[in-house]
Structure 1
Amino acid sequence: MRDDAPLGYAHRPKPFGFEVSYRLDPDALFVDTGRKQENIPYAAIASARLAYAPTNFTTKGYRLTLGLKDGRTLKVGNLSWKTFFEYDRQDGRYTPFVRALLKRAAAANPRLACRVGTPPFLWGLSAAAGALIVAGLIAMGVLAIQRNGLTAAALLVLFVAPLGWQVHAMVTRNWPGDFRPDAPPERVLPG
């Protein structure tokens, strides 16, 4: 693929919203929301944040948030929603699109701030809340076993296992930091 060849991507970011399409033109990111079309010069992109952003226990959602110099933000995700419960994973198109977009934005703006995960304060708050919830559920299970409530304890174990796994994934993948635009971390991009 030529470096100046257009690369496109489209997704429906909300279950009951319009599809948003993007195209990487030589000098600007073209965005079509269905209601409005806009060219955003790559030099106008001030920051990029990659994060692991699942929406429930079963989705593996990833998100790129672009901060523009005029204060607006633009979010691009790998999930395209059909209904409130149905979605398409667009991993095969999302990852190359994000890599190409970061490359073009960094070439146009050498001061592009590339961050990974959630901001440190929010990450710490999320990690603490997740750990407290999992610990509380484990304590409830131990109490249920002590009181011969084996059915309740079994149900809690069935709930704690996937919740603990999800909390672990959120904490480890969203560890805050910076990255180079030519080397985004694999932990926040779908494989």
Structure 2
Amino acid sequence: MFELSPSPTEQATTAGEGTPGTRYVYKASLVGSAHEFELRDEGLSWQARGKAGIWPYADIVAVRLSYRPMSMQSRRFRADIEHRSGQRITAFSTSWHTVVLMTPQDRDYRAFIEQLHARLKAARGTVALVGGIGPMTYAGGCLLLALVAIAIAGLLARAVATGEFAGALFLVGFAALFGWQMGGFVWRNKPRLYTFDELPATLLPPPPRNPAK
């Protein structure tokens, strides 16, 4: 039986406390209960959106890691875990705290994902380890990035030719911001396969720094 803790909201801000890497809790929205995951000996125990279950590790057939920024949180990662029945559960590296605050849980999310892969490897099942977004979505993002770059280059050339240097400066700033945001999304989310021994660094929060001695 899956046991609920007395305060899911409090857990969402202290994910993994007491058992690093084997438990993870986050809130997908301000409305509703927290999503809870726990790595047990018998499998992955989960509760989300009013449903719950325990998946033996050998029954997990796919894990997809991706980078999913939002306007309120640019450092946001996602893991989609798929059961052999086709059912899928999702974990995000951030948790809603207030209406205007989405809290990153980098350390706990990374530890949970690493431990999940370790359990899956030990189970010796057949698991598809996929990084990034789907090929069609990725191609669409690359095309959009190229079209915007061409349009900005044309406008910038015209602005310089007509002496509109203020407009040219604005375009340069816009191009830098767009390239940083969209370019980072496309670069991180390149479709790929990875292995248990080499998780994609660009699709996980950075590892915690060693404390200064």
TM-score bracket for this pair, using the shorter chain length: 0.7 to 0.9
Alignment-derived partner of residue 50 in structure 1: 65
Query: What is the CA distance between 1:48 and its match in structure 2?
Result: 0.6
**Identity between Structure 1 and Structure 2 (%):** 26
Aligned positions of 1:99-110 closer than 5 A: 99-110=114-125
2:48 is aligned with 1:33:
yes
Query: What is the CA distance between 1:76 and its match in structure 2?
Result: 0.9
Partner SS, residue 198 of structure 2: coil
Bigger Cα displacement from structure 2, 114-123 vs 77-86 = 77-86
Work out whether residues 16 and 84 of structure 1, in 8 Å CA contact, stay in contact via their aligned partners in 2.
Answer: no
When the two structures are superposed, what TM-score results if normalisation uses the length of structure 2? 0.77
Which sections of structure 1, spanning at least 5 residues, go unmatched? none
Rate the CA distance shift 1:19–1:148 in 2: closer, same or farther, 3 A: farther
Query: What is the CA distance between 1:153 and its match in structure 2?
Result: 2.9
The code of the aligned residue for 2:126 comes to R
2:24 is aligned with 1:9:
yes
Partner SS, residue 110 of structure 2: helix
Work out whether residues 48 and 65 of structure 1, in 8 Å CA contact, stay in contact via their aligned partners in 2.
Answer: yes
Report the Cα distance in structure 1 between the residues aligned to 2:49 and 2:139, rounded to whole angstroms.
37
RMSD: 2.4
Partner SS, residue 64 of structure 1: strand
When the two structures are superposed, what TM-score results if normalisation uses the length of structure 1? 0.85
Aligned positions of 1:1-191 closer than 5 A: 7-14=22-29, 16-33=31-48, 35-56=50-71, 59-83=74-98, 85-191=100-206
What whole-Å deviation, never above 9, does each CA across 1:109-141 have from its counterpart, x for those lacking one?
521110111222222221111222233234333
Report the Cα distance in structure 1 between the residues aligned to 2:78 and 2:39, rounded to whole angstroms.
18
What whole-Å deviation, never above 9, does each CA across 1:22-41 have from its counterpart, x for those lacking one?
11111111112263332222
Matched residue pairs, number? Answer: 188
Rate the CA distance shift 1:151–1:33 in 2: closer, same or farther, 3 A: same
Which sections of structure 2, spanning at least 5 residues, go unmatched? 1-18, 207-213
